[in-house]
Each structure stands twice: as C-alpha cells, then as structure tokens.
Structure 1
Amino acid sequence: MNQPHHPVHHEHDHPPGPLADASVRLARVSDAPAVGFVQAVVFREAYAAELAPEVIAEFQPQAFASAWRATLEGAAAGDGVLLVACAGEQVVGLAAVGASSDPDADDSTAELLVLAVHPDARRQGHGSRLLHAVVDTARARGRDRLTAWALASAEEVRAFLVAAGLDSDGAHRQRVVGPDGETAEEVRLSASLEAA
C-alpha cells in the first residue's frame, strides 16, 4: 500500500517562537548583579511619579545587588526565598517571598516582598511564572495566605495581582522609600492559598 507523499519543508511556514527558553529558578549568589540591575530599573520606573528625581537617582543597581548578595549568602536570608525569571540564561525578573511582618498576620501568612520584571521582558509570561512559583514556595512552607503590598498609584501592577486572584483587603500604609523619609502610599492585596 502506498503512503501519500508529504513534502518536507525546511523553511518555517509560521512565525518563529521565542528565541530563548523562559524559566523560573531559585536565585544564586552570582545572580545578585543582574537582580540588582532589574530591581533598579523597575523601581526607578515605578516611583518616578512618586519621588523627586534626586531620590530616584539613589536607586542604584550596585546597592540593590549588595543587599541581595548578603541575602543570598545567608547573612540576611531569614525566611525569605528569592526567585528569578530567566530568558535563556539572562535574568529578566525577580520575586521574593517570605513571612509577613504585618501586625495582623500570623505564621500562616506569606508575603510577596517584591515582584519585578524588566520593562523589555514584560508581557512574555515572566510575571505569571514568578507568581506561580511564589505560591508554590509559600504552600511548601505551610502557608495558607499570601499578601502583597503595591503602590496605590501602580494601577497596572494591582490589576495584574487582582487578575491572578489577589484582592484588596482594605489595609494601607505609608512606606518610607527615600533617604530623607520620603514616603509612598501602598495598599495591600491578599489571597487564600488553600486548595479549592
């Protein structure tokens, strides 16, 4: 019986997919410079409308990298876990999760301490992958609730978190974000991590 002949095309008949694999993994000490760079870029963007330019200028990659290096070396890790999103080998995002320090939280509450994706790497799923990894990490540590603080002015960030299942729980605070006591208003979102 003859099989129908299907010509083999060596050229792509469809648009090429992403050039690099996307992944999330635990951060390594060697990631500190890349993590510091991403955080500085994202924080400068996030706080641009909130703080004076001279305060924004204080958000330097080296300062963030030094703090993350100390955390990753164990000097300041505590209960926290730092995760990184990668495009191939390049770190393009970060998320940190740890115990909540809110006065109304108990031992079962985890806090998303930071979630940041470089502007050039957004809308590629890195934020969602990071958030899923944060939830998995929190659950693995026995936590059944996740909270996150977001700038009141950061509508896009809050929309992303709400779409992921977190909701505003009515808490708000003024966070000190500058060397001279400059503050920015934040609102808290939270979600249950218990299986439905």
Structure 2
Amino acid sequence: MAEASVRLAIPSDAAEIARIQRDTWRSAYADLLPAEVLAGLDNTDAMRELVEQGTATVHVAIEGDWTVGFCVVGPAPDSEVAEADGSLPEDAANTGLVATLLVEPRWGRRGHGGRLLAAAAETLRKLGATRGVSWVPEADRASLGFYHSAGWETDGVVRTLDAGGKPLREARVTGPVDLKLISS
C-alpha cells in the first residue's frame, strides 16, 4: 500500500471531493436513491464554497497521489442532536456533527475511514465537543458497521428524508470524540 494520510482540504480539492461523493453514492446507494437523483449529483461549486468559507472543516484522505475519501465536520445544529421528542440533551452544546464521511468503495478496507474519523474527532475536540453524531441510511450496513467498530452506536433516533420523491430512513449514530488513530 502506498503512503496514506489525511489533510485539510483546499479549494482545488473540490472537484475530486464532488467526484468521490457522486461515484460513491452511485455505487453504494443505487438501491436507496432514485436514479435521477444520482444522475444529477454534481456539487463541485458547493464543495469549493464549503472549503473556502470554512463554515465546516473538510478533511481529505490521500493514498499515494490519489484523493480517496473525505469528511465534513463541525458544530452540530440543535436539529441534528435533538431527541425524537424535540428536546435537547444536556450535552447538546458539546456535540459535534460528522456531516459526511465517505471513502470511495474501491479504496475501502484500507484504513481511510478510520483516519478520517480520527481527524474529525480531533477537530471536534478542538471545538470543545465531547460527543459526535452522524446520520447513516438504515440500509447502509457497511457504514453502520464502521461506526460501530469505532465505538459509535445508533441511539434510537431516526429521520426520514425525501430523496427525490422516495423516502430515505436514516439512523443517528453517536459516540465519543476521544478517538485516536492507532497504528499497527
């Protein structure tokens, strides 16, 4: 395996980040999202704006000369941490959000997801978070298993999104941000 690392994204990474999201969703979510939604994915401008404005932190996973994954992390809005009844947990102000964490399937099982989650956790700790949350499609067993292996669990809160006229159920996962990458 070539040298692997995680670094902060720069604006010139935007097209590659958008491509990774498009290709990964088309592969992993073909049964979950309508074809027209998947066909219309092109958010290069939105990714560039996100990286440039810094409203969230974007990390990219690199292997050799290739960008192979990314994550978007930042403070969690109240709507992302609220309980099913709408109430906020006591630690709402200390909870961060992993908005997206994707590794291209062909680069999977090489530690990139773990490195990205460790980088996300470090960012959240710097923001004062003690806990993180993320949302995963209930049918995405691979991602749920990944978070579980990192000590994050579903907390019983689900939401249903309108994905181009097709409902998409997501489960919230949550866990500590005291994660550290362990080299083998």
Asked if TM exceeds 0.5, the reply is: yes
Q: Which residue of 2 aligns with 1:13?
A: none
Residue in 2 that maps onto 1:66? 45
Listed one character per residue, the Cα deviations across residues 108-161 of structure 1 (whole Å, up to 9, x for unaligned) are 110110011111111111111111111111111110110111000001110110
Q: Does 1:153 align with 2:129?
A: no
In structure 2, the residue matched to 1:53 is: 35
Correspondence for 1:96 among 58, 72, 76: 72
Matched, 1:170 2:156: yes
**Max radius of gyration: which structure?**
1
Residue 193 (structure 1) shift: 2.9
Amino acid paired to 1:185: R
Which of the two has greater helix per residue? 2
Q: Distance in 1 between matches of 2:38 and 2:178?
A: 39
SS at match of 1:157: helix
1:192 matches 2:149: no
Matches within 5 A, 1:1-196: 18=1, 20-59=2-41, 63-74=42-53, 77-78=54-55, 80-101=56-77, 102=80, 103=82, 104=88, 106-178=92-164, 181-193=165-177
- Matched positions, count: 169
AA aligned to 1:69 is R
- Cα distance per residue 1:81-117 (max 9 Å; x no partner): 0000001232110011111122336221101100111
Aligned to 1:3: none
Amino acid in the other structure paired with 2:172: R
Distance 1:194 1:131, change over 3 A: closer
Aligned equivalents of 1:69, 1:192: Cα separation in 2: 29
Q: Distance in 1 between matches of 2:121 and 2:177?
A: 7
CA RMSD in angstroms comes to 1.6
Q: Per chain length, whose mean CA-contact separation is higher, i.e. which structure has more relative contact order (CA < 8 Å, sep 6+)?
A: 2
How far is 1:194 from its partner?
A: 5.4
| Alignment partners' CA distance in 1, 2:172 and 2:5 | 28
Residue number in structure 2 paired with 1:14: none
SS at match of 1:174: strand
Task: Give the whole-Å Cα distance in 1 for the aligned partners of 2:15 and 2:147.
Answer: 27
Query: Which secondary structure state, in structure 2, belongs to the residue aligned with residue 85 of structure 1?
Result: strand
Structure 1 vs Structure 2: percent identity of aligned residues?
33
Gaps of 5+ in 2: 83-87, 180-184
Q: Partners of 1:98 and 1:193 in 2: how far apart?
A: 12
